[in-house]
């Protein structure tokens, strides 16, 4: 029991101490941060981010975030840079060097080479007075009082601070660029996230069959239509316009209420004013409409208000939207 409590307390303290360190970062945002954002925003080149050890791992994440939000960026390992990869830096590129201490041997070798190439260099460091800090054009101050590691050795709080500062940089650039959800979709076409941003209702309904009957269709033919099209539903259509809907549930309720159903027509059992959605709407909007109304299908209309098909909850599940 004591071991359990100790684990919980350690975890809680870790989270609290790191969150306090992150909160302190807001007081370190200064003119250098603003100048860095404006420099990158106005640059004709890319952002090259470099570091070593844990800082290199953080650098790769910041690169990924920048790339996905409209700011071209590449990663360059500090150790590899001084063994040939320095050629990765182009004339108009802005270089960000990440180092907690700012005094590592690799950084001391790399920084003069970057300066000689006349590239603007940003220091993301916890030590403004370090070699890196003194050589940089601007400093992103990621100072933390101590690591949450009990020995104050393992990069923990410091790397969290670096990561958050990178996110702050990316979000500021995103807003300056007016980067929208449509832009985001261009960079995230794969997976459920991308599909939520670009997949249209028509992309799903067009591959489905289009069950439809008229108000005068016999109940027998209604059942056949629903069974053959295998969507658990049929639209009731007149002159290509939706006038109603019949679902499996409607059929079951009808059968439980009457034994004399041979003379019934679609108009006798259809639901009127069914939920529908435009073919050009996002698939995620169809999901929200289904969830709001507790239904499994939506009838689809085209630009002219004509019946265009059915989108089923299974389509959304299949595509990873739901």
Bind-site residues for Zn(2+): 77
Half-sphere exposure of 173 (CA within 13 A, CB side): 29
Beta carbons of 141 and 129 less than 8 angstroms apart: no
Strand order in the sheet with 297-301: 276-278, 297-301, 307-312
Residue of 200, 198, 169, 167 lying closest to 181 (CA atoms): 198
What region, left, alpha or beta, does residue 254 occupy, with left being phi > 0 and alpha being psi -120 to 50 degrees? alpha
* Burial (CB count <10 Å: 0-12, 13-18, 19+), residue 310: buried
**DSSP 8-state secondary structure symbol assigned to residue 245:** E
Annotated binding site: 77
Question: How far, in Å, CA of 316 to CA of 314, rounded?
Answer: 5
Positive or negative, the CA dihedral 243, 249, 252, 254 is: negative
Quickly count: other Cβ atoms within 10 Å of residue 146's Cβ: 11
Q: Which two tokens stand for residue 317?
A: 């599940």
Burial 33-52 (b: 16+ CB within 10 A, else e): beebbeebeeeebbbbbbbb
Residue of 199, 195, 140 lying closest to 165 (CA atoms): 140
C-alpha distance across the termini of the chain, in Å? 40
Strand order in the sheet with 138-141: 73-77, 47-51, 94-99, 121-125, 138-141
């Amino acid at each position: 029991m004591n071991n359990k409590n100790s684990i919980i307390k350690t975890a809680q303290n870790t989270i609290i101490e790191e969150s306090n360190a992150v909160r302190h970062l807001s007081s370190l945002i200064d003119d250098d941060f603003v100048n860095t954002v404006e420099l990158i925003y106005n640059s004709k080149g890319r952002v090259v981010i470099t570091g070593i050890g844990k800082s290199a791992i953080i650098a790769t994440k910041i690169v990924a975030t920048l790339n996905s939000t409209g700011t071209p960026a590449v990663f360059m390992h500090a150790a590899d840079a001084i063994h040939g990869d320095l050629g990765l830096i182009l004339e108009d590129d802005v270089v960000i060097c990440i180092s907690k201490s700012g005094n590592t041997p690799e950084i001391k070798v790399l920084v003069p080479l970057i300066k000689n190439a006349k590239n603007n260099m940003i220091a993301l460091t916890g030590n403004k007075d370090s070699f890196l800090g003194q050589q940089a054009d601007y400093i992103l101050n990621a100072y933390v009082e101590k690591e949450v590691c009990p020995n104050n050795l393992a990069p923990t709080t410091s790397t969290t601070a670096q990561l958050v500062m990178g996110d702050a940089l990316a979000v500021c650039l995103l807003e300056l660029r007016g980067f929208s959800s449509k832009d985001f979709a261009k960079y995230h076409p794969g997976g459920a996230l991308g599909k939520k941003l670009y997949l249209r209702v028509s992309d799903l309904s067009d591959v489905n069959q289009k069950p439809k009957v008229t108000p005068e269709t016999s109940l027998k033919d209604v059942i056949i239509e629903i069974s053959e099209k295998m969507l658990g539903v049929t639209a009731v259509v007149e002159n290509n316009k939706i006038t109603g809907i019949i679902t499996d549930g409607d059929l079951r309720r009808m059968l439980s209420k009457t034994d004399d159903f041979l003379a019934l027509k679609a108009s006798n059992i259809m639901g009127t004013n069914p939920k529908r959605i435009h073919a050009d709407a996002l698939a995620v909007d169809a999901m929200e409409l289904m969830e709001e109304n507790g239904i499994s299908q939506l009838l689809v209309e085209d630009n002219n208000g004509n019946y265009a098909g059915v989108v089923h909850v299974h389509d959304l599940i299949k595509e990873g939207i739901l």
